[in-house]
Amino acid sequence: MKEKLKQFVADKRGVSPVIGVVLMVAVVVILAAVIGAFVLGLGGNQQATPQASFSLDNGDVIYEGGDTIDGDNLKATVNGGNGSNFPSGDLTAGQSAGVTVNSGETVRVVWTDPDGGDTATLWKTTA
C-alpha cells in the first residue's frame, strides 16, 4: 500500500503541460473579451470636457470665451452650493451668471455632460 501511495505522489509528469494550456486559454479569452468590448463600443464614448475662460467681477461670473458651451449645462456655484444658471443656448463672450459671494469663498463653474450626467469643474477662484 505504501508503495502505491509513493508511486502516485511521485508521478507528476502530466501536471505542467495541463496547467500551461489552461493558462494560455485563459489569457486568450481575456484578450478576446477586452478587444470585443472596445470593438462593440462598450469602452465608453465620453464627450470631451470643454475648455473655457471665466472671470469674477462684482458677483458676476463672466464667460470670457473658449469652446462652444450650452449655458444649460453650466452652473456657477459658491462653496459647493446650488449655484446660478448661465443663459440658455450657446454662450457668447460677456454672458454671465450672478452669484452672491463673500470674501474668501470659493466660486466654481461646473459643467454637466448632457449625455451622461458626469460633471467637471471648468474654472475655480477664491473671492
User: Does the model's pTM come out above 0.95?
Assistant: no
Q: What are phi and psi of 112, to 5 degrees?
A: -110, 125
What is the distance between the alpha carbons of residues 52 and 62, in angstroms, rounded to a whole number? 11
- Tens of pLDDT along 68-121? 999 999 999 999 887 888 999 999 999 999 998 888 999 999 998 888 778 899
Using CA atoms of 27, 28, 31, 33 in order, give the dihedral in degrees to the nearest 10: -110
What is the distance between the alpha carbons of residues 26 and 31, in angstroms, rounded to a whole number? 9
Grid cell at residue 16: 505542467
